[in-house]
Structure 1
Amino acid sequence: MQWQSLGQSAGGNANFIALADEQLVGYRLSFSAGNWLQDEWCSPDLWPVSATELAYFKSVAVHPAWQGLGIGQQLLQQAIAALRQQGAKAGLAHLWRESPHNSAVRYFSKAGGRLLKVHPNRWQHLSAAGYLCPRCGALCYCSAAEMVLEF
């Protein structure tokens, strides 16, 4: 619930769900500009806009039976429109580079996202807290692509 509230600003909501036959088949969580915290995997010196104008694309998922139909891109476009209305000029994401078929980076690149920096072992610290990586197992070695999408 806390993440959902981070997408609300200026009377608008930048989080969306996709329904089919009244069943949830996808979602997009986005944080409004100024509503998210930078961490050690952020490279503000590479950002094309200030942090106060930069939204954050936190998470997206589409049920496997519904993938490949453009639902993820539609959710992203809805989020961009809402974030733009809220005053954001760009959005940042840290994408899983080792996702199957590099789908996370391909998805964001297709929308116009560009790579800023690669962060090795991005999620490894979560392994100590019990995170089980679907690729690596108990100790995650996956990297993140810090990417930006200008609106």
Structure 2
Amino acid sequence: MTHTDTHQSVMARFDISYAPLAPEHFSGVISLGNKVQGDNYLTQALLADYYAKSFVGDINASWVALNRGKVVGFRLTFAHTQWQFDKWCTPSLWPDMIEHVCYFKCNTVDPAMQGEGIGSELLRKSISCAKAQGADAGLAHIWLASPSNSAFKYFTKNGGQLIKKHANKWRYASIHEGYDCPVCSGYCECEGAEMLLSF
């Protein structure tokens, strides 16, 4: 079965459609993100900021997956001109030819629909828009504590290369921003994998 056949089969079974992120999706994105990633992972203020960072001109690199109008997946992507490197980024280890890097902030799919290609389709759509914006690669910090390390496996399968592992990637958010990690008791101690996907 080809990718197209698989994608059409999933769409038929779940009635999946895809759309650029828009304000009418915010409540569904926040609800799903906090359900899967932990309480206060997303807030209205954070998502409004992420939405603004998704654009170059009228091209939006963030996408949602909908099942009969309900948000069942999303990928939030910052345009290459809309974010700054921080201590969790190691550009000295990136390939020399990389110049314009977008940021894959997060990807979430409803657990009941994981493994059906929705995350990969969201990634393809974000990459297409990021390329149109002028990016030649995308950076992500992958949650290594995801069930069965599925996030790392998924991003690797789609071409992501491990750059460096960072301890306590989300600890600040858990101490100062109210983030409640779903796997850590107390403050988050999860490790994040800095990964780069060249286009």
- Classify the TM-score, shorter chain: over 0.9
Alignment partner of 1:138 is 2:186: yes
Farther off after superposition, 133-142 or 67-76: 133-142
Judge conservation of contact 1:131–1:138 (CA < 8 Å) in 2: no
- Paired with 1:124 and 1:22, the residues of 2 have a C-alpha distance of 34
Alignment partner of 1:82 is 2:129: yes
Displacement after TM superposition at 1:62 (Å): 0.9
Identity of aligned residues (%): 46
Displacement after TM superposition at 1:103 (Å): 1.0
Partner of 1:30: 77
Alignment partner of 1:45 is 2:92: yes
TM-score by length of 1: 0.94
- Paired with 2:174 and 2:78, the residues of 1 have a C-alpha distance of 25
Which structure features the higher share of strand residues? 1
Matches within 5 A, 1:1-151: 1-48=48-95, 49-50=98-99, 53-129=100-176, 130-151=178-199
Structure 2 unaligned runs (5+)? 1-47
Farther off after superposition, 126-135 or 65-74: 126-135
- Paired with 2:169 and 2:69, the residues of 1 have a C-alpha distance of 36
- Paired with 2:113 and 2:180, the residues of 1 have a C-alpha distance of 25
Per-residue CA deviation, residues 42-81 of structure 1 (Å, 9 max, x unaligned), is: 101112213xx00000011111121111000000000000
- Paired with 1:64 and 1:144, the residues of 2 have a C-alpha distance of 21
Farther off after superposition, 131-140 or 88-97: 131-140
Judge conservation of contact 1:55–1:83 (CA < 8 Å) in 2: yes
**Runs of 4+ with >6 A deviation:** none
Question: Cα RMSD (Å) of the superposition?
Answer: 1.1
- Paired with 1:131 and 1:10, the residues of 2 have a C-alpha distance of 32
TM-score by length of 2: 0.72
Displacement after TM superposition at 1:102 (Å): 0.4
One-letter identity of the residue aligned with 1:137? S
Displacement after TM superposition at 1:136 (Å): 1.0
- Paired with 1:146 and 1:80, the residues of 2 have a C-alpha distance of 18
Structure 1 unaligned runs (5+)? none
> How many residue pairs were aligned?
149
One-letter identity of the residue aligned with 2:90? S
Farther off after superposition, 135-144 or 78-87: 135-144
